[in-house]
Structure 1
Amino acid sequence: MSDQARVLESPCRDVTAQEIAHYHEHGWVKLSKFIKPDVIALLLQIAKRRMGEDGDSNDSYGLDQPYFNAEAAEGLGNQEVRALIEGIGRNATALLARKGIRARYFSDFFAPKLPCSKQTRNAGNGATAFHQDYITFAVDRTGGMTFWIPLEPYGAQAGTMSFITGSHKMGVMGSYHTYGDGDARDAFPELLDLPMTDPIEYELGDITVHTHLTIHGAGQNQTDKPRWAYLVLAQPEDACWNGAPPEAFDTTGMTPNQRLDDERFPIIG
């Protein structure tokens, strides 16, 4: 079997029963040695080709926030990356754990957090305020999740995420746009009663997965290079657009309460 065929056959492993249980109890899970190193290397190569070595040479994606500088990855159009996305979809279905409901692709993008010590062309060199993803996606039901894939080994100095454990059980907690100068912990001080993880330490191939209800945040990138990350977002296959203006996708030609269509949002689980 060729090296390429081997990568396409199994770019990532399967989640374990213990990892699924951790995800449901805590709202996030770290998956150690989840993705093959050669797949990570391919993703980093694509990211740098699209965004430059500095992670800052792409055009602005139009959302001026300090969390990261984003670039659509369009991985479904790349045979090798699509194999990873489909492997992620299989695991997203397992993590979702709904009877008869599979995972649907929602988006994939590169998200380098730029060094805080440098003046950057694009936004994305600040801290990530503690927030919840759910409200920005304009879907009508929960169950969505983000596979957060670092493309190099990183720790706290690079601005890796911390999760507020169990926060996914507190329901929808608003948009980060409504928090003013604070974050979710200021708007909902009861979050301070929940445990928060230290910034996650990632070795090559490690990833984290968090629900779109889980409160999370990160410090600044204090290194002198980008903190490269690749994100794949999944939704339940029965998710519908709720009619609100979304930040994450174009609703042209769609009607409120319409299920996400198979062409743009294929089932990957």
Structure 2
Amino acid sequence: MIRKSEANDLPALTEEYALTKEQLAAYRDKGHIYLPGTASPEEIASYEPLIASLVRELNYHDKPVGERDTYGKAFIQIGNLWRRSEAVRRFVLARRFGKIAADLMGVDGVRIYHDQALFKEPGGGHTPWHQDQIYWPLDTMNTITMWMPLVPVTEEVGSMTFVNGSHKNGFLSREQISDESHRTFKSYIEGKKLETVTYGAMAAGDATFHAGWTLHSAPGNPTDRMREVMTIIYYADGTRAIEPDSVARQNDLKTWFPGTAPGEIAATELNPLVYSRSGTE
């Protein structure tokens, strides 16, 4: 395990990634964006082995891919890796990524909801259509997820597919990610003839960002290589928790905002401020 002093030798990820007015406008209109080179090849080469090693150590699956349900086939999902490793902490709490999130949402500061490694195994199944924010007990539209491959994602494996502008409609269904959510949203998309976009192949260190209400899915992994992806969820600083209206949100309130009551500011030790325009992070 890397000690704090050794983690300090890893790339700082503090240099800014400049966004154009056109990129900001496109994200706010479509609810998603592709940003090549969000992290450099050298930066990814430093962090990927450390993150991948931790995921292998914490992998909880005890059945072959073919014997799991749809959700289990989709990926190895490990959250809050930043709490388990000084090296991963440096990556997840990176100022560069936080500023991109704040700029895209047009807010003054962002906190971490949590990180998630989403490693899709060889032969892994598709990720059903879903909205992320049905899980999040937050009183805001200003939520965003960074999705960054740590290894090249080929056209054969593919990146995520998004429904343009779907974030503007907010809540669409209580369906959690499942076969049912896939059927429900697939019918919705086809019935309304909504436009979908996928960014195809991506290099390690490229990233997509999507809003919490943006409808999205991902294909399976037909290759013999692991699709290694790291995600980080951000929300606007100053956001308050809401009264949970589902078991999923009740669980998330307890898990990710321990001790926070509905109506209170959502800011615990699990939700550090990673970027602020006032420079107080």
Amino acid of the residue matched to residue 31 of structure 2?
Answer: G
Shift of 1:136: 1.0
Gap change, CA 1:248 and 1:68, over 3 Å in 2 = farther
C-alpha distance in structure 2 between counterparts of 1:102 and 1:252, whole Å: 21
Asked if residue 85 in structure 1 is aligned to residue 94 in structure 2, the reply is yes
Instruction: Provide the residue aligned with 1:267 in structure 2.
Output: 273
Count of residue pairs brought into register by the alignment: 252
Instruction: Provide the residue aligned with 2:65 in structure 1.
Output: none
Partner of 1:50, secondary structure, is helix
C-alpha distance in structure 2 between counterparts of 1:152 and 1:105, whole Å: 23
C-alpha distance in structure 1 between counterparts of 2:228 and 2:101, whole Å: 22
List 4+ stretches of structure 1 deviating above 3 A: 9-12, 181-184, 189-192
CA contact (8 A) 1:179 1:187 kept: no
Unaligned stretches of 5+ in structure 1? 117-124
Gap change, CA 1:258 and 1:200, over 3 Å in 2 = farther
Report the structure, 1 or 2, having the larger helix content.
Answer: 2
CA contact (8 A) 1:139 1:242 kept: yes
Equivalent residue runs for 1:211-230 within 5 Å: 211-230=211-230
Gap change, CA 1:224 and 1:12, over 3 Å in 2 = farther
What is the TM-score normalised by the length of structure 1?
0.81
Amino acid of the residue matched to residue 85 of structure 1?
Answer: A
Amino acid of the residue matched to residue 268 of structure 1?
Answer: V
Amino acid of the residue matched to residue 197 of structure 2?
Answer: T
CA contact (8 A) 1:164 1:216 kept: yes
- Of 37, 40, 55, the residue aligned with 1:36 is 40
Amino acid of the residue matched to residue 69 of structure 1?
Answer: I
Amino acid of the residue matched to residue 60 of structure 2?
Answer: D
Amino acid of the residue matched to residue 206 of structure 1?
Answer: D
- Of 75, 94, 105, the residue aligned with 2:82 is 75
Partner of 1:254, secondary structure, is coil
Shift of 1:8: 1.3
Equivalent residue runs for 1:101-140 within 5 Å: 101-116=108-123, 125-140=124-139
What is the TM-score normalised by the length of structure 2?
0.78
Report the structure, 1 or 2, having the larger strand content.
Answer: 2
Amino acid of the residue matched to residue 265 of structure 2?
Answer: R
Instruction: Provide the residue aligned with 2:233 in structure 1.
Output: 233
C-alpha distance in structure 1 between counterparts of 2:181 and 2:212, whole Å: 22
C-alpha distance in structure 1 between counterparts of 2:140 and 2:181, whole Å: 28
Gap change, CA 1:70 and 1:143, over 3 Å in 2 = same
Shift of 1:24: 0.6
The two structures, once aligned, show a CA RMSD in angstroms of 2.9
C-alpha distance in structure 2 between counterparts of 1:183 and 1:112, whole Å: 24
Equivalent residue runs for 1:111-190 within 5 Å: 111-116=118-123, 125-177=124-176, 180=180, 182-186=182-186, 188-189=188-189
Partner of 1:197, secondary structure, is strand
Partner of 1:217, secondary structure, is strand
CA contact (8 A) 1:67 1:113 kept: yes
